Amino acid sequence: MEFLASTFKRSEEGNAFNILNWDYLQIIAVLFLSAVGLIFISSIGEQVGSAASALFFEKQLKWLGLGAVVWAACSFVNVKSRLFFIFSILFYIATAVLLAAVLKFGLRIYGATRWLNIAGIRIQPSELAKPALALMLGVIFSRLSVNSWKGFFAGFAALLLPFLLILKEPDLGSAAILIPLYIGIVFISRLRWKYLIVATVAAVVVGGAVIANEAMQIKPLLKKYQINRIKVFINPDSDRLRTGYNAYQARLAVGSGGINGKGIGEGTQNTLGFLPHTVSNNDFIFSVIAKETGFVGCTFLLFGYLLLFISILRTAVVTDNEFCRCFAVGTGIVFFSHVFINIGMSIGITPVTGLPLPLVSYGGSSLLVNMASLGLLQSIYRRRPERESFYKKMN
């Protein structure tokens, strides 16, 4: 009872239970993007016509229902409480254990070991690593200065552990997401410019060494298929029939959508199987949307994400808590990176990495993690300081 009282207590400062204090911009964006996902997952299932594909809509609907419950529960958690602070540390440790367990007991699908089967439910711990790292960095930098050696190395160690475990799966895309997350949180934690310059130079040197190592194959870190994807990204026409096939068909789908699209359910790339059904409802769902709704539909989709980004950025600005600000910025960077890379895969400006389009792509682990993160942001927004006192502090 003491835990519940501390974690779900009413915040006098933010008047958290006042219905007028809810972030309705976030709610509108989430409802819109989730609806888009359902519409096109259903459309793809009907086009393919197989029993398995038809079940995708039902499964996604169930995941959304569970996600709504998770969102609601997280939106009432007092993120500023000491117990949630402790929970964040334990959550990070548990996530690291799950990532290590994947390497030993994980399911191997499509050449990668990224999933655990727990009680008949398949989960992807690399999705948990993103909010876990954001929370852990918030814990560290709200207690230690990022400009101290202790704070800097503690934060870097928090990044390195999940990064290496995810890279080992291998899941280069999810591992890469952790880097801008870390950089963003370090930056807003008021890293001094001289340290920023030193860190930038060090990153360039290390990055150059890694690229040289991969190019000369001295002790390569990347798998052969990952190197092939990068080669195809640099030269899209080098292997259209194998490694570059999905990306090529995705670009064709986007380019042929025109202004208004071909109509929902009329996308020939997906209908005729040119864009494989194994990726059309998750990794390359944007290509289907572009093909069937055209430039107009893509514009509305991007506007929905813009509303979500504004909501997340506003939450980061209005909170008076450093821990909460770090988590909000980290979450915003994760969402932006996913959207940029996923859409970039479909139009040929980023390599194919298998990252889902948030709230739109089919999948349970990603959806639940996103809904939980957004629920916590809703809690942070509703527990913001009163407007007048906040602006007095700012001035």
pLDDT-based confidence at 337, cuts 50/70/90? very high
The predicted model gives 101-125 an average pLDDT of 78
pLDDT-based confidence at 386, cuts 50/70/90? low
Q: Over the stretch 12-23, which tens digit does the pLDDT of each residue have?
A: 444 556 677 899
**pLDDT at residue 12, as a whole number:** 40
55: in domain: yes
pTM: 0.87
The predicted model gives 302-306 an average pLDDT of 97
The predicted model gives 218-226 an average pLDDT of 69
**pLDDT at residue 32, as a whole number:** 97
11: in domain: no
Best mean pLDDT range from 4-8, 98-102, 109-113, 382-386? 98-102
1: in domain: no
Asked if pLDDT for residue 312 goes beyond 70, the answer is yes
Lowest mean pLDDT among 94-103, 135-144, 243-252: 243-252
Asked if pLDDT for residue 343 goes beyond 70, the answer is yes
Which three-class secondary structure state does DSSP give residue 205? helix
Asked if pLDDT for residue 173 goes beyond 90, the answer is no
Residue by residue, DSSP assigns 102-132 as HHHH-EEETTEEEEEEETTEEE-HHHHHHHH
Lowest mean pLDDT among 67-76, 158-167, 252-261: 252-261
Asked if pLDDT for residue 142 goes beyond 50, the answer is yes
Is the model more confident about 386 or about 161?
Answer: 161
**pLDDT at residue 10, as a whole number:** 44
pLDDT-based confidence at 211, cuts 50/70/90? confident
pLDDT-based confidence at 108, cuts 50/70/90? confident
Mean pLDDT of the residues in the chain: 83
**pLDDT at residue 273, as a whole number:** 62
10: in domain: no
Contact at 8 Å (CB) between 137 and 326?
A: yes
Location of structure tokens 């959508």? 257
The predicted model gives 384-395 an average pLDDT of 56
Question: Which H/E stretch holds residue 349?
Answer: none
Cα 156 from Cα 81, distance rounded (Å): 25
25: in domain: yes
The predicted model gives 341-346 an average pLDDT of 91
Asked if pLDDT for residue 290 goes beyond 50, the answer is yes
Contact at 8 Å (CB) between 367 and 300?
A: no
Is the model more confident about 331 or about 252?
Answer: 331
Asked if pLDDT for residue 387 goes beyond 60, the answer is no
**pLDDT at residue 270, as a whole number:** 64
Cα 343 from Cα 299, distance rounded (Å): 12
**What is the torsional sign of CA 264, 266, 271, 276?**
negative
Closest to 7 in 3D by CA, of 64, 82, 61, 62? 82
Lowest mean pLDDT among 49-53, 206-210, 212-216, 225-229: 49-53
8: in domain: no
Domain count, the chain: 1
Lowest mean pLDDT among 33-42, 221-230, 344-353: 221-230
**pLDDT at residue 14, as a whole number:** 44
Query: Kind of pairing, strands 107-109 and 121-123?
Result: unpaired
Host domain of residue 359: 20-385
Which three-class secondary structure state does DSSP give residue 217? coil
Q: Over the stretch 251-288, which tens digit does the pLDDT of each residue have?
A: 888 888 888 888 887 766 666 666 666 667 888 889 88
7: in domain: no
Cα 275 from Cα 283, distance rounded (Å): 11
392: in domain: no
Location of structure tokens 């944007």? 286
> In whole angstroms, how large is the CA radius of gyration of the chain?
22
**pLDDT at residue 56, as a whole number:** 83
Tokens, residue 360: 């739109």
Closest to 34 in 3D by CA, of 358, 362, 359, 366? 359
Spatial CB neighbours of 230, under 8 Å, sequence gap ≥ 6: 222, 351
Tokens, residue 126: 């690399």
Q: What's 385's DSSP letter?
A: P
Q: Over the stretch 31-53, which tens digit does the pLDDT of each residue have?
A: 999 999 999 888 876 665 566 66
